């Protein structure tokens, strides 16, 4: 009989063991200090685990590369909607992580675009009414720029894209660089009449391999290289002015414009650098070695 009681007690213990284990797990889950002992419970203050944050970093890198491929700005709102979703509070950490990956793997980084300038009288009046300062405002838009050292920015290393084709991409880059150079050397603004005159002299209608001239102009406006400012006047024709766009202010610095002008000019007069410096509005002298480096990059 004692042995039967012991066997029955053992059976009861075996039957109750799963219930005790389940209860123990529930108690541990209710313990607020239990998560501190969990080696895999690495969760940040915003509720995003490290593994999930890494995925968001990779997603932002892909989004930035896709935007740059289409030459459209990387917008903060786009990052929040298409990358972060419900993890908007992790923006800073994800952005910094993506910057580190872009620099390490691709030799690029996201750089904020300057604020688009107020061109027309109506835009300036609206900005003054809102007391908006262009110097302190943020555009909330970025593009990818190279972080490679100057010696690695030669044409042999950084060649034009093969999409749609290398000749077309090289012609497109040369075309918008030439348009930007004409605008800058004209004091920052160029009337539509003068631009059409320059394009006629260059025979752009026949020399552009990718599309019609007007379509290419619309493309560089859409991509932010130039701004087409239209001011309407009652009873008169609309005044059309071409200005430098925000992307060009980052991608095409004065050194690049000086390189283009120097290459086209040919034999340089003695006071060429001084005149070019004044035309570009730069403070430092553009020396010959610096210009030659820029020509190599172009």
Q: What is the pLDDT of residue 51?
A: 85
Give the Å distances, CA to CA, from 104 to 15, 100, 130, 196: 58, 6, 41, 44
Q: Which of 47-56, 114-123, 267-276, 278-287: highest mean pLDDT?
A: 267-276
149 within 8 A of 291, measured Cβ to Cβ: no
Supply the DSSP symbol for 47. Answer: S
pLDDT category of residue 75 using cuts at 50, 70 and 90: very high
Q: Facing residues of 172 across strands?
A: none
**What rounded mean pLDDT belongs to the chain?**
78
The residue-averaged pLDDT of 143-172 equals 85
Share of the chain above pLDDT 70, in %: 71
Mean pLDDT of 24-49: 43
| Domain boundaries defined on the chain | 51-112, 159-297
- The residue count for the chain: 298
pLDDT of residue 11: 46
- Range with the largest mean pLDDT of 7-11, 41-45, 110-114, 287-291: 110-114
pLDDT tens-place string over residues 181-213: 999 999 889 999 999 999 999 898 888 888 899
Phi, psi of 107 (to 5 degrees): 70, 35
Q: What is the pLDDT of residues 97-109, one digit of tens each?
A: 999 999 999 999 9
Give the confidence band of 128 by pLDDT, cuts at 50, 70, 90: low
**Residue 146, SS3?**
strand
At 62 the pLDDT is 96
Residue 243, both tokens: 């200005």
CATH fourth-level superfamily of 159-297: MAGE homology domain, winged helix WH2 motif (1.10.10.1210)
Confidence of residue 255 (pLDDT cuts 50, 70, 90): confident
pLDDT at residue 136 greater than cutoff 50: yes
Q: Which H helix or E strand runs over 228?
A: strand 226-231
DSSP secondary structure code for residue 83 in this structure = I
Cα 21 from Cα 52, distance rounded (Å): 31
- Residue 296 confidence (pLDDT): 47
Give the least confident one: 25-39, 218-232, 244-258, 268-282.
25-39
Q: Could you tell me which residues are beta bridge partners of residue 109?
A: 145
Reported confidence tier of residue 121, pLDDT bands at 50, 70, 90: low
- DSSP secondary structure string for all residues of 89-123: GGHHHHHHHHHHHIIIIISEEEEEPPPPP--SHHH
Structure tokens at 49: 């685990």
Report pLDDT for 54: 92
Other beta carbons within 10 Å of 120: 14
Per DSSP, what are the bridge partners of residue 110?
144
């Amino acid at each position: 009989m004692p042995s039967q009681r012991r066997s029955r007690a053992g059976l009861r213990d075996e039957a109750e063991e799963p219930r005790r284990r389940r209860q123990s797990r529930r108690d541990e889950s209710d313990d607020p200090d239990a998560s501190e002992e969990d080696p895999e419970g690495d969760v940040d203050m915003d509720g995003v685990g490290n593994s999930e944050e890494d995925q968001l970093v990779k997603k932002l890198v892909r989004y930035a590369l896709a935007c740059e491929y289409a030459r459209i700005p990387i917008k903060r709102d786009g990052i929040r909607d298409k990358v972060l979703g419900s993890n908007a509070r992790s923006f800073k950490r994800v952005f910094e992580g993506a910057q580190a990956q872009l620099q390490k793997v691709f030799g690029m980084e996201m750089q904020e675009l300057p604020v688009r300038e107020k061109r027309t009288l109506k835009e300036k009046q609206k900005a003054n009414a809102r007391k908006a300062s262009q110097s302190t405002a943020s555009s909330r838009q970025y593009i990818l720029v190279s972080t490679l050292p100057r010696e690695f920015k030669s044409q042999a290393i950084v060649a034009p894209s093969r999409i749609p084709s290398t000749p077309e991409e090289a012609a497109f880059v040369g075309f918008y660089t030439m348009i930007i150079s004409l605008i800058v050397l004209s004091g920052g603004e160029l009337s539509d009449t003068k631009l059409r005159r320059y394009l006629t002299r260059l025979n752009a209608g026949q020399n552009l391999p990718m599309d019609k001239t007007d379509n290419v102009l619309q493309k560089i406006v859409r991509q932010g290289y130039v701004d087409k400012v239209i001011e309407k006047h009652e009873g008169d024709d609309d005044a059309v002015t071409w200005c430098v766009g925000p992307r060009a202010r980052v991608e095409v610095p004065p050194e690049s414009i000086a390189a283009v002008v120097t290459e086209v000019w040919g034999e340089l007069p003695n006071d060429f650098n001084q005149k070019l410096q004044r035309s570009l509005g730069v403070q430092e002298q553009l020396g010959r070695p610096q210009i030659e480096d820029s020509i190599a990059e172009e």
